[in-house]
Amino acid sequence: MSLLSAGLDDYLHSILPPRDEVLARMEADAACRGIPIVGPAVGRLLAQVTRLAGARRVFELGSAIGYSTIWLARAVGPDGRVFYTDGSEENAAEARENLSRAGVAERVTVLVGDALTALDGTDGEFDLIFNDVDKEGYPDVLRRALPRLRVGGLLVTDNVLWGGALRLPPCEDDAETAAIREFNRLCYANPDLETTIVPLRDGVSVARRIR
């Protein structure tokens, strides 16, 4: 899903460099099977902010078949580490194959189960946390992920504009929309965060921990 008009979205994708065979195959497969992935425009954004932050230790909350994981793992470099999480062993098995084909399997720790439970059970600080879990969990992600970021680290979150459902004036929200709305409010209100929402695809927020 993209919030950009069809012409603008087509233009943006027309100027993106071609992806390699692994990512291109995953994009086609995800479109065919209805698997939600961030897509190439957001993938490039993830890789770029990872490199700009000098991130070497990344935790991904909700990884599915590993599409975004590949972008992150390539960006952290050979000495970096990305922690993949998904509740489905089937997704994790498919992701392992994709990561291997992409040549980044040795940089990724695959964790199967609840993403936030996996975060709680993993020691140390992180340079970047990417949040793409079930939307009702977004406010809880902020509470539990922020203390795990180093100062200067980034919390990057997908789907923060939720298909345009957050337009003003607000209507009666379902649980997912209400949770995303609350997450965005909390991010901007938090004095420890510097937050910007990028209206790319379905909305991506980049929040830097400043203290």
Instruction: Report helix, strand or coil for 20.
Output: coil
Q: Does 29 map to a domain?
A: yes
The full length of the chain comes to 211
Mean of pLDDT values over 131-146:
97
166, pLDDT greater than 80: yes
Angstrom distance (rounded) from CA 174 to CA 117: 25
Name the domain count of the chain: 1
Q: Does 133 map to a domain?
A: yes
The first and second tokens of residue 116, run together, are 């936030």
Mean pLDDT of the chain: 95
Q: Does 143 map to a domain?
A: yes
Among residues 207, 199, 192, which one has the least CA distance to residue 41?
A: 199
Question: Do residues 155 and 131 touch, judged by C-beta distance below 8 A?
Answer: yes
184-203 pLDDT tens trace: 999 999 999 999 999 999 99
**Which phi and psi (to 5°) does residue 37 adopt?**
-130, 165
Q: Does 90 map to a domain?
A: yes
Q: Does 177 or 9 have the greater pLDDT score?
A: 177
Rounded (10°) angle between helices 39-52 and 67-76: 30
Please report, to the nearest 10 degrees, the dihedral formed by the alpha carbons of residues 91, 94, 95, 98 taken in order.
-160
Contacts of 14 (CB under 8 A, 6+ apart): none
Number of H helices, E strands in the chain: 8, 7
Q: Does 161 map to a domain?
A: yes
Give the amino acid at 186.
L
Categorize the per-residue pLDDT at 156 as very low, low, confident or very high, splitting at 50, 70 and 90.
very high
Q: Does 1 map to a domain?
A: no
* CATH code for the domain of 109: 3.40.50.150
pTM for the full predicted model: 0.96
Q: Which domain holds residue 56?
A: 6-209
Q: Does 165 map to a domain?
A: yes
